[in-house]
Structures are given as structure tokens and as C-alpha cells.
Structure 1
Amino acid sequence: MKFNKWLMTGLLISGLWITSTQPINAEANASIHNESIYDLYVDRYFNKVITNDYDVNAKDPNAFAGGDFLGIIEKMNHIKDMGFTTISIGPVFATETYDGKRVLDFNTLEKRFGTPEEFQQLISEAHKHNVKIMIEFPLNNYSVNHVWNSQTGWIQSKENDVLTLDLTKVEVQQALKDTLVEFAKTYEIDGVKLSELNGAPTSFINEMISSVKEVRNPMYVIALEESDANFDVKYSDDLQVNFREAFKNTDLPTEGIVSTDYNELLLFDHLNTERFTYYSALENMFPPTRIKTALGAMFTMPGVPYMTYGTEIAMNGQHAQESHQVMNFRVDEELIDYIKDINNVRNKSETMRTGKLELLKNEDGYIVFKRYSADEEFIVVINNTSETKRIDLTSNIVGENKELHGLFESDIVRPDDNGEYRLVVDREIVEVYQVTDLQGLNKSYIFAMALSYVLFLGFLVIVWKKGKQRRNEQNKK
């Protein structure tokens, strides 16, 4: 049955769309609303070469672990296969810390990460895979040994070996703008995540955004800090916490997540917070199931999905020493396969990315909504409760003479004698139904089922023949 379900899911997701959309990464059509972002630290991802392992100690959670640009290239298919279109790789400048935050010199790449040629190779390889590369650019709080530490007129403090600049100074603002623009001109990056915004006037942040966007199109600029600046997508602490709180367990209030719009960043944790797994484990819940349900919501609601590396292996951690573990690629594929499938649904459908939403039901973890546009329509059922749920939808919502194709549980729902569509979804499952014209017998389903049974019977015949051959050989002896 597992084989049948896998086969049917693949056929449904790959073949049901009656309206094809343009490639989501086409440059002429580029928009951050078409992206899904995978966030990582270079040092914590994959160590491809040891020639750049200077003072590396993988056993010390506070030390460099050895990850490098070539390591990201090595594991590019892992990210691409999950359907992510943008990789955010953290700061890449010369630094005293593995996370890149304690910058020493913006004009030099961190030697442990690799050479300028290897960094450009990473960008080029990503572009070959139709994936964009975003780097993090901290606006403040560098190493006290930063090359700017002698600029006394720029400095606000040097406490705790941290160099804090006065971001209201015109000279400081100009230096930061020039530095970022020059970096963007030197390397073909596609985006910037600005960080350490505290103390930066909004007008200055807007100037930074405008300046770097003039270098290249597209050039996405985001932040994981709340700001009134003109970022391409909005970040909200409350929304991030609301997603975490809604899905860490079942039957929890979901009012705080159902009003998202396409211009919001959707996430339940990031590299500066505790891991989502930490909170679900505190609830004595099975983290992979919690993650699947939460991601199912994030990838079907309006907004830009943003996932932290290691989520696909349910990485745990309350503090940085725990939550910034080196990525482990020897894992169970079930959660990764789910991310592939749900991301594939979003990538294939412009309606899922930017279409309208009509909320049909929202009650303590049970959310039903319609995503629609002039070209296509979906019904999404998020059953984050502890019991099976049912909803009957009228033709006023679904339409006359329609049928609903479940993309994950492979069921087909047609109207009953009263013209209503009865949707039944098991606990802790997100199901996406594509609305199509009523077609009667589903030939694709019949063919797929027949094919699966033929293959299964063929397998049994092969096993029987090999067993018979072995018995004959043993009898001859």
C-alpha cells in the first residue's frame, strides 16, 4: 500500500494542473513572492575540503567546525531537491566566530569558508540549478578587532570585545552602503539579509536597500528583525511565535496565523531562536509530525516560506551551542520527502504563491481555506487536532459539477445527491485538494493502480522463480 500511495501522490502532484505557470525563477518574472528560502551557516553545513580547516574543532560547539563554500556545492542537490529556490548562507566575511557575526574585515572573505573563486563558484553552481544565493550583512556589532576600530568618530562602544558603531553618523552610513554595493558588484549574489538593525535609522536602511537593488535585478533584501523599512517581505516576531505556538501540539488556537498575506515571511524558528523541535519535545509530541503539519500550513498560506537548515532532520536545541549543530545528512527520508512534495505543490502553482485566500473554517487547529485565482482553485484542510475531522462544502464554495483531487491522500471527492462535497481528513494531516471539472471515472487513477499491481505481481514472479531455481540447485547437490 505504501508503494501505491507513493505512486499516486507522484502522479497527482506532477500531472493534475490544468493551467501551467511560467517558471518561477524566470528573471523577467522574478519576485520574492515566488521564492522559498533555506537558511544556513556555511560553517555548520558540510566540510568538503580540509585545506581551509584553520583551528577547526568540530567537538567544540563554540569553535569553527569546517563547513565551506565547496561543501554547500557538494550538498546543493539536497536543497534543490526539497524545492527551495533561495539559499541564505549567513555572513561570509572574515570573522572571529563560526556564525560570521564578529566581522573583522568586509573586504576579505573568511578563509575557513574558502577563496573568492570558490565563493563565485558556489554562486555560479547555484544559478545553474536555478537557485539564488543570499548573504547576510550585519550593520553593527563587529569584532573589536575590526579594521574600522581606529575610526574613533564612528564608534559608539567597545564593550565585551564588540565594536558598536554609531549608525546615525553620515560617514558610517556611507561606508556601509559603499561596502555592500561593492561586494554585490564583485560577486553575483541575488539577495541580502540585513541584520543588527538596532540603532539604524529607517531612512538609512531604505538607502541601503535602494543602493544594493541598483546593482542587479532581482536583488532581494530582507531582515529577520521588525522594521518599517522597505524590505521585500515583512518579518513579524509575533507571527513567528504564533506559528510555533499553534503547531507545537494539537488542538491549539490558530487565530494568530490565518490572516497572513503574500508579503509576509512565514517561519516557526530561525537561527537566533530556539528550534521548533525544542518546543514540540517539551509538549511530549513527535517532532517530525509537528514539523510536517506546520510546514504544510506555511507552504499553503499566503507568504514566503523560510526554513532553517536542519528542520528536515528535526534538529533540536534551545541555545546556539545546541541549535547550530553540524548538519547530519544520514537521516530518515520521510520528512524530507514531505518537504519536497509540499514545496512542489507551491512551486507548481502561482495561485498557491500569490492567489487569494478565503477562510472557511478556523477552530483550535482545524483550518479550512480556499486558495483561488482566475486560473485555478484549491481547498486546503489543515487538521492539526487530535481527531479525524469532517467538513461539508456546498457548490457555492466549490462550484457546480466539480470534483476535488487530494494531492497527498490520493482521494477524489465528488458531490453527493445534495450537491455537497464531504471532506474527511485524519488527525495531524494537511491535505490539499485541487478543484477540477467533474470527469467521471479517473483514468489516471485506474491506470496507476493497475500499473502498481502489475509491477507488484511481476516482483512476486521474479521472487518465485529465483526461489525455485535455488531449490533445484540444492536438489541437484
Structure 2
Amino acid sequence: MKTAMLALVFVLTFGSFPIHALAMSPEEQSIYDLNVDRFNNGTRDNDKDVDLNNPSAYYGGDFVGVKERLNHIKEMKFTTVILGNVWQASNFMGEDTESYIEVNDHYGTEEELISLVEKMQEEKLIAVADFPIDRLGEGHPLRKAHETTADGQWTTIDEALVAAMAKEIVASVEKYGWDGIRLTNTQHWDAASLESLIDLMKKEADQLIVMTLEQTEANNVDIIQNDALTQTFHDTFIQFNSGVSLYDDMQTIDRRTQLQVDRIDQLRMTYEMVELRMFPPTRWKTALTALFMLPGVPTVSYGTEIAMNGETVEEGLQMMNFKTEMELKDYIGNLNTLRNDSETIRNGEFELLHNEDDFTVFARYSDDEHWIVVINNSDDTKKFSIPKERFGEEKVKLRGVLNQDLIRLTKDDQYNIIQDRERVEVYYVEEDKGYNIPYLIASIMVYVAFILFLYVVLKNSRKNRAANR
């Protein structure tokens, strides 16, 4: 309800309307990254090798289950969903992948996967799957035709292998209707070979969005990975007073870069927060605000909305609990609503206004909109003043859209921002027309009319009681 109200207020106030995900460029997307086996069990028909007490075993999630819970993702306003490795493999992590066509029978059938992808597209969600391009299983057609080392790594990545792989992946795209693919196990591919593979695939599927799980120097990837930036995000928000700052890097960032606090193949940051005796919901709200308001592609691992925990990577990939407290779900939805509805937040200019002692203020602006984002990642109350000249001659006010804060111009021509410890706010800058007198009069009239109504009702009630004595 809160998310829907925020969206309504934003649209009515700022005249902005959501854009279809497929109409957005790749760098405008927001991504929800899940593992099919650990998301939702929709049917018992494919429950084999299931052991909920063994983090290395299958848990029973399937294509039917993901399809049943797409609304959960939609409510958080994500535009893109990565389903992970859905192919026949040796385990739920997708190791030793045997095919780009044959689906993992623990997850369901080819028909069920096609139905899921179709439903995602019907719901205006971009469907993405993982395609490992190295260390494939011995039964994979490419492995049979090209030489590898004992552990499955290609001995030579030549034109023949690149062409054959492009053909196999394109066949999968055509069969299942993928909008995008994420290439994994790319570490041993040089940039030129990876660029050739992507060029060949896009020659046959020119609208295909291509991303990689690992960082690469290939320059034709649509959404790119930056390992150092992910680590800096992690180190900045793992605790308050971290002394680490990621914001200087944002002024020159490639807008195609994924912004992540943790990854689905890494240790959950919630675990580390707890180890440091931090309060995860507060830590996550601080981190997520930066994630969605900074330039780049926000990417969130499934389970973040419930602060999923785990001492190891596998233990951190728990079966999603849809019955637990989901305070962060609404918060993510609010942030995504702002980002989806604002061209400026997605593509506008970025300017760092203040960044000192774990207190950061930055602007996202364009000719049409101006936003001020405040992130206090410290354990003290902080203050920062923005001079009137920042916003030109026109008198404005800063209206907080997350916590309903309101800042007006002071007598000394400053906009004074005061932020409590571990608090964030996103301010929309709008013309300050003073108090809305007609609105105030109307509100008073409604209040007076209600009082008069109660008076008449009570008076008539007393008369009726007196007449009946």
C-alpha cells in the first residue's frame, strides 16, 4: 500500500509515468538475481534429490514456482530477472553444464520454462538466463567437439569454437525467447574472443541484452561487471563509520556498470553485518538507497528483501520465505518506483556535493528535475547547508519522498539539511509557492463540517432519548 501511494503521489506531483522495461536501454534496467532451485517450489512432480537439511543439495524450487511468484518481483518494481543457470548440470549451482537446450529436470520441463518466459514478458519483465562458456560438462556438444584440459577448460579459443558456441546460444535464445543472457565462466576468455562471440550472437539476435558475471575488458557487453566497485559498495555499507567511500568513483562511472552490495555467488552481506553486531534492516536501507539513486544498474540478489543470511555461499542461498517479515520489500519497491518513473535518476547528471566523515550528499539533475540524496552512514547526527544559488533565483523547497522531510529556505539563504545517524533521505526540488491557502481553507471547512455533523447527530440523539422517556 505504501509503495502504491508513493507511486501515485509521484505521478500526480511530477507528471511522470512508468516506462516499459523493454523501452529502456540496458543501463536503465534494475535487476533481480535469483536461483530457481531456491526461490519457490510450485510442484512436487520434479522433487528428486531434495534435502532441505543439506545446503549442497536441491531444495525443490522450479519453473512453476517462479511463475507463481512473479508478482512478488513485480511488487518490488524490478524490470529484469536473471533466472540463473537453468540447464542440465551436476548441481543447483550449474556446474558442469551439459547443454544450452536441455533444461535441468529438477526445475521442470522445456514447456514449463517456455511458459515462464512468456509469462515474464507478458508481465513486462526482461527474462535472462546464465550461459557458462567454459568448464562445461563432458556431455555438452561443444565439449565433445573441441579440446579441453582435464578440468574442462578450453585449450584453445579459436574462431571455430566461438562460431559453434554462438550458434548453440542463439538456438537457445530462439527456442526459449530469452531477452538477455549472462555469460559466466568468462575468466579465461580474452577480450577479443569474447567480443567476437557477442558480435556473432547479436548478428542473429540484435535486440539481445548481453551481460557477464565476471569482469571483462570486452567493450561490447551491454551491462558490465566491476569487481572492485562491488567490493567498495560492500566495504562502505557493511557497518556505520566504515571510513570507506565509493562516491568519488561515481563521477566517471560507465553507466553500464552493475551496482551490487553482494552477489548471488558470494557470501551474504547480512551475515557479515550480524558478525559486526550491526542491525541488518538499517544497514540495508542505507546501502539500497545508494544502490538505486547512483548512476549505474542496480542489481539485487533474491532474499535481500528478507535480509537472507548464511555462513557460507551455499547456506546463503536458502529457500525463499514468503511468509516472513518483508520490510525491505516495500523499501526496495519505493526506490525502484522513483528510479523507474524518473528519467533524471536513471540518466541524469551526477554531482557530489559533500562527502566527509561517512556523511554524503549528492545531486541527480537534468533540465527537467533536480534531486538531492542524503546518506548518513555514521553514528552521529550530521548537517550540511546548500546555498540558495544552487537552485537559481527561484525560491524552492526540498521535499523528502522517503521520510516526508521538508526543507525550506532560511533567512540566511541556505537550505539546511540535518540528518540523524544511519538515516537517508531523497529530496525532490520543487518551486516553493508558500502555503496553499485554498487547500488550507478547504481542509478547515471539511473539519468544521464534520464537527457540525457530529453536533447535529448528538443533538438529535439526545432529543430522541428524551422523547422516549
Same fold (TM over 0.5): yes
Task: Give 1:106-121 correspondences, 5 Å limit.
Answer: 106-121=100-115
**Is 2:314 the counterpart of 1:321?**
yes
Unaligned runs of 5+ in 1: 462-477
Q: Matched residues in 1 for 2:169 and 2:40: separation?
A: 26
Q: Matched residues in 2 for 1:320 and 1:279: separation?
A: 12
Q: Matched residues in 2 for 1:335 and 1:79: separation?
A: 13
Structure 1 window deviating more from structure 2 (250-259 vs 72-81): it is 250-259
**Is 2:193 the counterpart of 1:196?**
no
Q: Residue 83 of structure 1 aligns to a residue in which SS?
A: coil
1:86-143 per-position Cα deviation (integer Å, ceiling 9, x unaligned): 0001111111111223212223111121212211111111111111111000011123
Task: Give 1:51-450 correspondences, 5 Å limit.
Answer: 51-151=45-145, 153-158=146-151, 163-229=152-218, 230-260=220-250, 261=253, 262-400=255-393, 401-441=395-435
The answer as to whether partners of 1:249 and 1:290 remain within 8 angstroms in 2 is yes
Amino acid across the alignment from 1:299: F
The answer as to whether partners of 1:234 and 1:264 remain within 8 angstroms in 2 is yes
**TM-aligned CA deviation for residue 215 of structure 1:** 3.8
Unaligned runs of 5+ in 2: 455-469
Amino acid across the alignment from 1:65: Y
Normalised by the size of structure 2, how large is the TM-score? 0.88
Structure 1 window deviating more from structure 2 (443-452 vs 282-291): it is 443-452
Q: Matched residues in 2 for 1:87 and 1:107: separation?
A: 19
The answer as to whether partners of 1:254 and 1:364 remain within 8 angstroms in 2 is no
**TM-aligned CA deviation for residue 453 of structure 1:** 9.7
Q: Matched residues in 1 for 2:445 and 2:150: separation?
A: 70
The answer as to whether partners of 1:167 and 1:200 remain within 8 angstroms in 2 is no
Structure 1 window deviating more from structure 2 (318-327 vs 385-394): it is 318-327
Q: Matched residues in 1 for 2:382 and 2:212: separation?
A: 38
Q: Tell me how many residue pairs correspond in the alignment.
A: 447
Q: Matched residues in 2 for 1:304 and 1:128: separation?
A: 23
Residues 303, 156 of structure 1: CA spacing in aligned structure 2 closer, same or farther, 3 A cutoff?
Answer: same
Q: Matched residues in 1 for 2:235 and 2:172: separation?
A: 39
In structure 1, the residue matched to 2:19 is 23
Task: Give 1:3-42 correspondences, 5 Å limit.
Answer: 12-18=9-15, 20=16, 23-27=19-23, 30-42=24-36
The answer as to whether partners of 1:154 and 1:171 remain within 8 angstroms in 2 is no
**TM-aligned CA deviation for residue 259 of structure 1:** 2.3
Amino acid across the alignment from 1:253: G
Residues 134, 435 of structure 1: CA spacing in aligned structure 2 closer, same or farther, 3 A cutoff?
Answer: same
Give % identity. Answer: 34
Residues 87, 279 of structure 1: CA spacing in aligned structure 2 closer, same or farther, 3 A cutoff?
Answer: same
Q: Residue 199 of structure 2 aligns to a residue in which SS?
A: helix
Residues 167, 59 of structure 1: CA spacing in aligned structure 2 closer, same or farther, 3 A cutoff?
Answer: farther
Q: Matched residues in 1 for 2:371 and 2:285: separation?
A: 19
Amino acid across the alignment from 2:124: N
Q: Matched residues in 1 for 2:286 and 2:446: separation?
A: 28
The answer as to whether partners of 2:11 and 2:17 remain within 8 angstroms in 1 is no
Normalised by the size of structure 1, how large is the TM-score? 0.87
Residues 83, 173 of structure 1: CA spacing in aligned structure 2 closer, same or farther, 3 A cutoff?
Answer: same
